[in-house]
Amino acid sequence: MSTGPEDDDAAAAALSPPPETEQPGGDSGAADLGARAAARLLTARFWLLFGVSVVLTGSGLSISNNLAQICAAAGIAPAQSAAVLGTFSVSSCAGRVALGAAADAALGRAVSARAGAPPPTAASRRALWLALVAVGTAGAHTALARGGADAPRAARALVPVVGFFYGGFWALMPSLAADLFGADGFALTYGLLRPAVILGSWAFAKHLAARDYDQTGGFDGAFGALAACAACAALASAALAALVAPPAAAAPNARGSERAGRVAEGDETINEKSPLRPASDNAPRVARCAVS
């Protein structure tokens, strides 16, 4: 059976790919993703959070990755190192639960049913909680660096403290990232922040702590450097809180807003002298007084 030129053209059209402008996905989605990534990378708030993440993840990983050597340098028997590691893990879990719940409770995370969005002060206040975590981390590392003759007891007591604040960081950072850049693009934001974990592990856990142990047989220098970096992270978190804090003038008067809301919903009784009472409601009363 022979086919005409029209049939050949139809078959060729069916087998040919669609034009570029009609291909699903295309380059528009990639371009939009790149634009949103660039928009985050060009903000000071992203790099402040990134720097804090490098320090606080490196602080926790310096302990967990080198705990056997830390216990040996502190004079703790190898058989007891596993127990110290267990306290670090348990305290890290406790920090995630306790600091995350405490921050949410202090922030009043329950939002207005009408707005359906976090309060404008959420990011600023959560950044202050992150500064508190950095201060606690700096204090724990400072005490570890000054352990001296009481190093075994200091290590047993302070390693869980570092773990507690390390867990608290992981409770606060994702929520803070969502507050700063929005929950809709959270996957992109979190993906851009993940290299901070790699950088912190490489810089602090692998090089700083390991090199100090190889050269001195201890970690006092590394703990001191980590304490200084954590103090800088606390300052960076405070700067982030100040950067994203809403202007004071933008805060509405709570009493006035509450009264206006009750009036709008019909929940507040308005007396006759209230300026909110329509003038037409008073007119018949005035007319009756004039007639009498």
CATH code for 44-107+117-244? 1.20.1250.20
Is the pLDDT at 64 greater than 80? The verdict is yes
Q: Give dist(CA 133, CA 96) in Å, integer.
A: 11
**What pLDDT was estimated at residue 9?**
56
pLDDT of residue 259: 53
pLDDT tens digit string along 201-215? 999 999 999 999 999
Q: Which two tokens stand for residue 173?
A: 């950072």
For residue 90, give the nearest of 4, 159, 21 by alpha carbon: 159
Tokens of 49: 């959070």
Listed residue (203, 210, 206, 207) closest to 229, CA to CA: 203
Of 45-54, 162-171, 259-268, least confident by mean pLDDT is 259-268
pTM above 0.95, yes or no: no
pLDDT exceeds 50 at position 265: no
Res 15 pLDDT > 90: no
Which residue has better confidence, 278 or 217? 217
Query: Residues 96-152: pLDDT tens digits?
Result: 999 999 988 887 754 443 354 556 688 999 999 999 999 999 999 999 998 766 788
Higher pLDDT, 277 or 183: 183
